[in-house]
Amino acid sequence: MQNDTLANNRDSWRVGILFSRSGVMRIPQSEHFFGTALAIEEVNSAGGILGRPVEPIAYDPGSNPVAYRELAERLLIDDGVQIIFGCSTSAERKAVLPSIERWNGLLWYPSLYEGFEYSPNIIYTGAVPNQNSIQLARYLARQHGSRIFLIGSDYIYPRESNRVMKELVDAAQGEIVGEEYFPLVLADRSFGETLDRLCRIRPDAIFSTLVGEAGISFYRQYAETKLFAAGIPIASLTMAEGELAEIGGERAAGHITAAPYFSTVETPANRQFNQRFRAKFGESRPISMYAEAAYCQVHLFAQALAACGTTNPQVLAREALGAEFHAPQGLVTIDPDNNHAYVTPRIGIAAADCTFRIVHEEAEPVKPDPYLVSYDYDLDGFAPRGPGQAGARELPA
Amino acid sequence: MDLRILRELRDLRVLIAHPHDGDGDELVRQLRRIGCDVSHVWPAAAKASERADVVFFLVEHESATHRGFNYDDTSLTRIAVVNAESPLTLRALMDARVHAVIMKPIRPIGILTNLVLARALQSYEAKLSSKVAKLEETMKSQRLIAKATRIIMAKESISENEAYTLLRRQAMKKRVSMASIADAVARAEELLEGIRNAP
C-alpha cells in the first residue's frame, strides 16, 4: 500500500520496463521495448490515464537473469514502482517471479513460453503451446512429413517445447530423428557437425528452439547446405521478422514460424500499427510478434488503470482479467481463469523481403491452456483435452 | 520419460475438504487450471471421498476435521493442507498417512508438484501393497502344499516328486487350486490324528 501511495502521489503513473537492449536476447527484447514505447507514447499523447501521463523507468538487464532479479527489486523497492513490463525468456521470468510476489508487483510478460506457470502477480500475453506448437506440428505433418529433427538451446523453454513436439510427432505416427542442445551463449558458433548429421539423416523438417545469436548463426549456416536448397524447412516458434533481417532474407526464405502475429496480418488495427511504428522508429525497423505483444499489453494495462484508478496489483489485475483489446493480431482477451491471453494462432513462411507469408490462421482467438499435458488428437483435429478450441481456416497458398 | 501420471491429471476426481475461504478457493482455482475435475466440500464428509481419486484435506491440531477418511484405502491419494508444524499436527499427518503436504497460505506454485509426487507415491504404495498381499498368499500356499506332500509321502511311501504330482493331478481333476487340495489333505490328516489319539 505504501508503494501505491508513493507512486500515486506523483503527477504521473510510474511503470518499470525491463527489456534487454544488449546481450544475446537483444533482438527480440529491443522489439519488446519499441512496442512498449510506442504504446506508452500513444497513451500519453491521448491525454494519459485519468489525466496523468505514464512515466516509464527503463533498465537494461543485458540478457542476464540475475540482473533481471536485481533490477526488478530496484524498481519495486527503490523506485516504488508496482507495474513492470518485462522479461522475454522463461529463465528471466522465473528469476523475477519470487521478487514480484514478495514485493507485490504486477509483471506484464509479453513473450511466448512453455506454460506450466501461474502467478496472481503476472499477466501473460504471449502464446503457450496449445496456441503455437499444436498448429505447427499439424502444419509440418501435413505439408512436409513427420520425420523431425530437434535442435535447441539448453534451458527450460527448448526442453519443454521439444517434449511437446515429441508427443505431437508421436501422435501423428512420426519419428524424432535427432535431438541436440547447445549452450544459450555459444562461444563457437559453428554447427558443422550437426549440419553434416542433418544432411545424412535428411529429416522432413527441423524444429529449432535455438534462441538469440545461436539461432541466427544456425539459420545462416543452414543456408549453405543442400537441405536448404532442397526446400527442407526449419520450423520455429521464436524466429520473427527481426531475426529474419539479421539472418538475411534470401538465407531465411522458406522457413516456418508459428506465432499469433506477423507484420503482414491483414487487419485495420495492424495497418495503423505498422504506420505508427514506422513513423516513430523508421522504415527499416522490423515489426514482429515481440513488438506487437508488448504494445498490446501496455494498452490493456492502460484500459484497466483507467477503469480502477490504482496501480495496486490486486485491484489492477482484477480489472485486467477478462479485459479485451483489438490488437493488431485481432481480439486479445485476458483469460480470467489463468491470467494468460486468448491469441490467434498463425503459421507464416519467411519471404526474401524478411516478412512472413501467412499460410494458416485460426478462425478465432484460442483459449490459453497453460497446463495442457495430454495431446489426444488426430491429424484433422488435434483436439487437446480441456477447454474448447476454435476451428481453423486455411489461407490460399 | 514416463509422463503417465501427468497425462492422467485431467481424468482425476479431486475432492477438496477445506473451508470455503481464500485458501480453499485458491486451491480450487489452481486445480481447475491444471484441468482436474474438482469438488469442494466443507465440513469434510467421509462419504464424499468414495468417488474421489485424490483428496486435499485440512489437518489441524485435532484430527477431528479429517476423521472419517479411510487411511487404509490404497487407491485414495491423500494430500494434507496445514498451517502449523506443531507436534499434534505432525502426529495427525502421520496418522493420516498422507502422500504430500501443502502449507498455508496457498500459493499456486507447488500444488502441481505435490499432486504429481503424491500420485506417484500412492501408486507405488498401492503396487507394493498388492505385491505383498500376493506374496503372503503364495507363502501360505507353499507351506500347505509342502505339508500335504509330506503327509502323502508318508501314507503312500512314495517320493516327494510323486506325492507332488498326485496332488497336482487331483487339483486339475477337481479344477481347484493346489493350495485348496493341500488344505483339504492337511485338514483330513488332522482330523484322523484327532480320532486316532482320542482316549
Question: 3-state class of A259 per DSSP?
Answer: strand
Question: What pLDDT score does B128 carry?
Answer: 94
User: Tell me, what's the pLDDT at A356?
Assistant: 98
Query: Who's near B5: CB < 8 A, 6+ residues apart?
Result: B116, B119, B120, B123
* The pLDDT value given to residue A330: 97
**Cβ A385–B3 below 8 Å, yes or no?**
no
User: Which of A47-56, A357-366, B55-64 has the least mean pLDDT?
Assistant: B55-64
pLDDT, one tens digit per residue, over A183-199 is 888 777 789 999 999 99
Q: Report the distance separating Cα A109 and Cα B14, nearest Å.
A: 31
For the residues B25-52, what does the mean pLDDT come to? 88
Residue B92's pLDDT is what?
86
Picking from B7, B8, B28 by the largest number of A CB atoms within 10 A of its own CB, the best residue to mutate is B7
- Tell me which chain A residue has its CA closest to the CA of residue B37: A386
Residue B66's pLDDT band (boundaries 50, 70, 90)? low
B9–A118 C-beta distance less than 8 A: no
* Shortest Cα distance, chain B CAs vs residue A341, angstroms: 14
User: Residue A373 and residue B108: Cβ atoms within 8 Å?
Assistant: no
Q: What ipTM goes with this model?
A: 0.74
Collapsing DSSP states into helix, strand and coil, what is residue A246?
A: helix
Per-residue confidence (pLDDT) for residue A397, from 0 to 100:
45
Stronger pLDDT, B87 or A306, i.e. the higher one: A306
Q: What percent of chain B is modeled with pLDDT above 90?
A: 66
C-alpha dihedral over A114, A115, A119, A123, to 10 degrees?
80
Question: Pairing between strand A106-109 and A83-86?
Answer: parallel
Write down the pLDDT at residue A250: 96
- Would you call B35 and A119 a contact, using CB atoms and an 8 Å cutoff? no
Which residue among B10, B107, B112 places its CB closest to the CB of A386? B10
Please say whether the beta carbons of A67 and A89 come within 8 A.
no
What is the arithmetic mean of pLDDT over A51-72? 96
**In a mutagenesis test of the B interface, which of A371, A372, A385 is the best target, namely the one with the most B β-carbons within 10 Å?**
A371
Q: Where are the beta strands (DSSP E) in chain A?
A: 13-18, 54-59, 83-86, 106-109, 122-124, 147-153, 175-182, 205-209, 234-236, 256-259, 324-327, 330-334, 341-342, 346-350, 356-362, 392-394
What pLDDT is attached to residue B196? 83
Q: How many Cβ atoms are within 10 Å of A106's Cβ, its own excluded? A: 25
Residue B65 — very low, low, confident or very high, per pLDDT cuts 50/70/90?
Answer: low
Q: Give pLDDT, residue A224.
A: 96
The nearest alpha carbon in chain A to B113 belongs to A116
Q: Which of A124, A159, A373 would you mutate first to test chain B, the one with the most B CBs within 10 A?
A: A373
Between B161 and B199, the more confident residue is: B161
Partner-chain contact A370 B33, CB within 8 Å: yes
Q: DSSP per residue over B134-193, as a string? A: HHHHHHHHHHHHHHHHHHHHHHHT--HHHHHHHHHHHHHHHTS-HHHHHHHHHHHHHHHH
Residues of B in contact with A386 (CB under 8 A): 10, 35
- Residue of chain B with shortest Cα separation from A167: B3
Task: Say yes or no to pLDDT of A328 above 90.
Answer: yes
Spatial distance between the Cα atoms of B28 and B142, rounded to a whole number of angstroms: 50
Q: What is the largest CA-CA distance in chain B?
A: 78
Candidates B10, B34, B109; nearest CB to A385: B10
| Tens digit of each residue's pLDDT (9 = 90 or more) over B95-106 | 889 999 999 999
Model confidence at B67, in pLDDT bands (50, 70, 90)? low
**Cβ–Cβ under 8 Å, residues A61 and A71:** yes
Q: Which residues of A touch B3 (CB under 8 A)?
A: 373
> For residue B6, what pLDDT is reported?
87
Per-residue confidence band for B71, with pLDDT thresholds at 50, 70 and 90: confident
Angle, vertex CA A222, rays to CA A218 and CA A226, nearest 5: 165
Q: Which residue on chain A is closest to B5 by alpha carbon?
A: A373
**CB–CB of A337 and B35 under 8 A?**
no
User: Residues A203-236: pLDDT tens digits?
Assistant: 999 999 999 889 999 999 999 999 999 999 999 9
User: Could you report the per-residue pLDDT of A342-383, keeping only the tens digit for each?
Assistant: 999 999 999 999 999 999 999 999 999 999 887 655 545 444
Q: What mean pLDDT, rounded, does chain A reach?
A: 91
Instruction: Select the more confidently predicted residue: B74 or A353.
Output: A353
B108 touches chain A (CB under 8 A): yes
B109 touches chain A (CB under 8 A): yes
Question: In this predicted structure, what is the pLDDT of residue A372?
Answer: 87
B113 at interface of A, judged by CB pairs closer than 8 A: no
Query: What value does the mean pLDDT of chain B take?
Result: 89
Average pLDDT over residues A16-36: 95
Average pLDDT over residues A39-47: 97
Confidence band for B2, pLDDT divided at 50, 70 and 90: low
Query: Using beta carbons and an 8 Å cutoff, which residues of A are at the interface with B?
Result: 101, 116-120, 163, 337-338, 369-374, 385-386
How much is the pLDDT for B62? 62
A371 to B6: CB separation less than 8 angstroms, yes or no: no
pLDDT at B152: 93
Q: Give the per-residue pLDDT at A390.
A: 39
Cα nearest neighbour of A98 on chain B: B109
pLDDT computed for residue A3 by the predictor:
47
Lowest mean pLDDT: which of A4-8, A159-163, A311-315?
Answer: A4-8
Q: What whole-number distance in Å separates Cα of residue A115 and Cα of residue A39?
A: 26
Q: How large is the average pLDDT for residues A271-287?
A: 96
Give residue A80's pLDDT band: very low, low, confident or very high (50, 70, 90).
very high
